Every structure is written in C-alpha cells, then in structure tokens.
Amino acid sequence: MCARLPMSLAVATSPPTLAAERAEDAEAVERLVFAAFGPGRYAKAAERLREHGEAPLLDCSFVAWDGPQLVGCVRQWAVSVAGAPALLLGPIAVDPAYRRHGLGGALVERACEAAAAAGHKLIVLVGDTPLFGPHGFAAAPRLVMPGPVDQRRVLAKALASDAPPLEGPVAAA
Ligand SMILES: CC(C)(COP(=O)(O)OP(=O)(O)OC[C@H]1O[C@@H](n2cnc3c(N)ncnc32)[C@H](O)[C@@H]1OP(=O)(O)O)[C@@H](O)C(=O)NCCC(=O)NCCS
C-alpha cells in the first residue's frame, strides 16, 4: 500500500507554485477564503470596500497551486485613499496544511511586486503585523476604514516616492 506523505513533507519536497489569479479560479478562491475566515468575514470593514468594488484586479491577485489543488490566495482591489488611487490587499488565505512554510509571505511579496510593476503607488490592508511587517507594511493610524476596525491592524505600504499621504478615508474606487 502506498502511504500518503505527511503534508509538511509534501510541502517541503514540492513547494506550491504561484500564478496570477484567473477568472475561472474564483470559485476555488472563495472556497478557500470561506474555509479560512468563515461567515464572520462579511462583517469585516475591509469587506465593505470589496463588496462595492467591481472585481479583484487579476493581474495583482495570486493563487498558489499544489498540482490541481488551489492552496493559497491573495487578492487586491482598486480603492481610493482621500480620493487618490490605491490598492486594498486581502483576503489572503493559505490552506491549513500548508501554513508556516512561507507561502503566505511569498503571496504577499508577489502581490506587492505585481502592484509596483503595474504602477500602483500605495497598498492598504487590515491585517497582522507579524505577517505583513516583514514585507514593508507599517501601521497607518490616520487612514479611516469604512466601518469598525482595530486601528492597530490598519497597515499600508508605499510603492513609490510620490505615493498618496497615509491619511483620510479609504473608499471603494
Ligand atoms: C495568515 C496566513 C495567510 C499565513 O500564511 P502562512 O503560509 O502560514 O504564512 P507564512 O508561513 O509566510 O508566515 C509568515 C509569518 O506570519 C506570521 N504568522 C503566520 N500565521 C500566523 C498566525 N496564525 N499567528 C501569528 N503569526 C502568524 C509569522 O510571523 C510567520 O512567520 P514564522 O512562521 O517564521 O513565525 C494563514 O495563516 C491563513 O490563511 N490564516 C487564516 C486566514 C487569515 O487569518 N488571513 C490573514 C488575515 S491578516
């Protein structure tokens, strides 16, 4: 009988590959996000922005594949900060069996690189400093999210020297 490898070993020997999200990945992305966050996700302030937005920017959103299985995702959306264009990063989710191997960090890095390459100047998000801090995100105490939020979790990363100031309301684009 052929025993399955423990998942951690499988991850170590065959790391997932990252690719830009495609329209046809949406269902699998939603499944992963729902499994990671549960229905509480829809109460989040960041979700207020996304539900009015058109769709994620696919060239700045990424998925991680282990063979045919979608095991990680990060999305970015067009928003405005005090009227200036910016991106909202999130949600980000990694399948529990693949966590703590650097995949979340790799998705953040790839999303930031793609955003900079596409000419975006600022990324904002609501998230955890231990995950995002090492990738250049810092607290943005003067950004105002559209809904209740732990202000300490409002983070931003400027991608250009002429990025908009980190103050004012974050709104759907
Ligand atoms: C958050 C999440 C995407 C991280 O994915 P990951 O592949 O485990 O991320 P990484 O392996 O790149 O971890 C990078 C760092 O983030 C931090 N981190 C990741 N998960 C963490 C957790 N559950 N608690 C505290 N810190 C965490 C750690 O500092 C970690 O570095 P370390 O492993 O060297 O200590 C994943 O845990 C997940 O899907 N969680 C559920 C959904 C969620 O909470 N999304 C993020 C909201 S901000």
Q: Is 8 in the pocket of ligand 1 (CB under 6 A)?
A: no
Q: Is 15 in the pocket of ligand 1 (CB under 6 A)?
A: no
Q: What is the dihedral of CA 32, 37, 40, 43, to 10 degrees?
A: -80
User: How high does pLDDT run on average in the chain?
Assistant: 90
Q: Is 153 in the pocket of ligand 1 (CB under 6 A)?
A: no
Quick check: 109 pLDDT over 50?
yes
Using most ligand atoms within 8 A of CB, pick from 74, 89, 131, 154 the residue to mutate for ligand 1: 131
42 pLDDT band (50/70/90 cuts)? Answer: low
Tokens 């955003």 belong to which residue?
Answer: 115
Structure tokens at 80: 């405005």
Q: Is 36 in the pocket of ligand 1 (CB under 6 A)?
A: yes
Alpha-carbon separation of residue 62 from 51, 69, 72, 103, 114 (angstroms):
19, 14, 8, 11, 9
State how far Cα 46 lies from the chain centre: 11
3 state SS of 14: coil
**Opening angle at CA 35, ends 56 and 152, nearest 5:** 65
Q: Which domains does the chain have, with CATH numbers?
A: 16-172 (3.40.630.30)
What DSSP designation does 131 have? H
40 pLDDT band (50/70/90 cuts)? Answer: confident
3 pLDDT band (50/70/90 cuts)? Answer: very low
Quick check: 8 pLDDT over 70?
no
Classify burial at 75, counting beta carbons within 10 Å of its beta carbon; exposed 0-12, middle 13-18, buried 19 or more: buried
Tell which atom from ligand 1 comes closest to the C-alpha of 128.
48
Contact 129, 139 (CB under 8 A): yes
What is the reported pLDDT for 79?
Answer: 94
What is the reported pLDDT for 143?
Answer: 98
What is the reported pLDDT for 120?
Answer: 98
The pLDDT tens digits of the residues spanning 47-95 come to 777 776 678 999 999 999 999 999 999 999 999 999 999 999 999 999 9
For β-strands 122-126 and 154-158, DSSP reports them as: antiparallel
Which residues make beta-bridge pairs with 152?
A: none
Give every CB contact of residue 136 below 8 A, 6+ residues apart in sequence: 112, 157
* pTM, full prediction: 0.90
Q: Residue 142 C-alpha to ligand 1 middle, in angstroms?
A: 25
What is the reported pLDDT for 1?
Answer: 35
39 pLDDT band (50/70/90 cuts)? Answer: confident
Q: Could you give the percent of the chain with pLDDT greater than 70?
A: 90
